Homo-oligomer: A and B are copies of this chain.
Amino acid sequence: MQDQRESGRQQVFEAIRNANQIARIDIAKATSISPATVTAITSELLSAGLITELHSDPVPGVAKRGRPRVALSVRGDAFLIAGMKIADRHASVVLLDFVGETIGEYSQPIPNGQMGADEFATVIHDVLHAACNECGRRLEDVTGLGLGMAGLIDAARNFVYWSPSLKARNVEFGEALSNVLPMPVFLDNDANLVAKAEQHFGEGQGETDFIVITIEQGVGMGIVIGNEIYRGERGCGAELGHTKVQLEGAMCRCGQRGCLEAYVGDYALLREASVHGQGIPHDSVAALYAHAKAGDATALSIFERAGRMLGMGLVNVINIFDPKLVILSGEQASLDFFDGDRLLEWVKSSVVQVDAPLPEIRVHRWGDLMWAKGAAAYAIEAVTRQKIKGLSRDAA
């Protein structure tokens, strides 16, 4: 959080990455850096091997007069980046090239329950090793690993306050990982990684400020302000799931009362169903939802109340941040449980009203892999920053 000014090199590189492929003159326009400087910087990036020139054959019909522009693009094969997401019993890995193209995917069950830090680091090492083998790469080829796990995490310090995967609290988990892994590791809370995934691969592309809300077992939030994830003082902000929506309300698994999660989380839904007892499934949310869909009023009311609470949470977020864009991001199922369209209508009508366009709310459903891709995106960012900082004009 120090060198926050984007150096010219960073800006140019970002422009190339964003555009996929782009000519120098357009980089100049996009960044409002002079063409002269763009030439200088791109020649550095070229000789450092971070980007390449794409000489496309001139298409006679479309071609215009003048010297043809030569497109630049990020060299995908410059670095191999890995992203890993740790879930309850599974680790999923994605290998990306430096452009962000998927090189390979891998998933593997891991022991359930809490482990010691070193033990768990070894598991992660082994998973990554297996993933590399699977894709015909070597562990040593991986330039950086992004690692997402549930819990309260201070990303800046690679520090874990608490995680369901670790036995101890307050672990310098980054160090444990460094001991067994040859590449730098970048640790973050999984909600933040969804935000990163949206920023690089999803609905947040090209946006500088937005909020991502994820609904699964719990409710998570990622806040992007000025292209950066906002993390708060201790690195554990954005706990939307533990925002209070009811005074003296339902008991949450965090031990507090009235948390949003205690109404919207899957355990909360099942709890309600189980109280009612006969006739209503209370072992899987999907089954409960099917029951509601089939017309069962009680099951329906469970989802309705949860939906309204979720709506409250959304309204509060919007009233507090006045964001330009809110992305509801999650796996297919979770979002459908709450009658989305009606919910969003209610949210929009319940927000502080101004005579200016309401924040846009986009729903983005996608699969299991996004977590790992977000982790990888985080690592790509970090590696990029590091590699570019290591440049200087005296490099031959």
Contact = CB atoms under 8 A, between A and B. Distances in A.
A246 B244 contact: no
B352 A322 contact: no
A152 B246 contact: no
Contact of A322 (B238, B324, B354): B238
A200 to B, nearest CB: 21
Given A5-B5, A243-B316, A246-B246, A233 B359 contact: yes
B233 A322 contact: yes
Interface core residue of A221, A239, A246 (most chain B CB under 10 Å): A239
Nearest to A254: B352
A240 B354 contact: no
State the copy count for this chain.
2
A312 to B, nearest CB: 5
Range, interface on chain A = 35 or more
B239 A320 contact: yes
A292 interface: no
A320 to B, nearest CB: 6
Given A232-B321, A233-B322, A320-B239, A247 B352 contact: no
B237 A322 contact: yes
Interface in A368-386: none
Interface of A: 4-5, 152, 161-162, 169-170, 209, 221, 225, 230-240, 242-247, 254-256, 258, 308-309, 312, 315-317, 319-324, 350, 352-357, 359
Given A232-B321, A235-B322, A244-B319, 10 more contacts: A161-B354, A170-B355, A232-B322, A243-B319, A244-B245, A246-B246, A256-B350, A256-B352, A258-B312, A317-B320
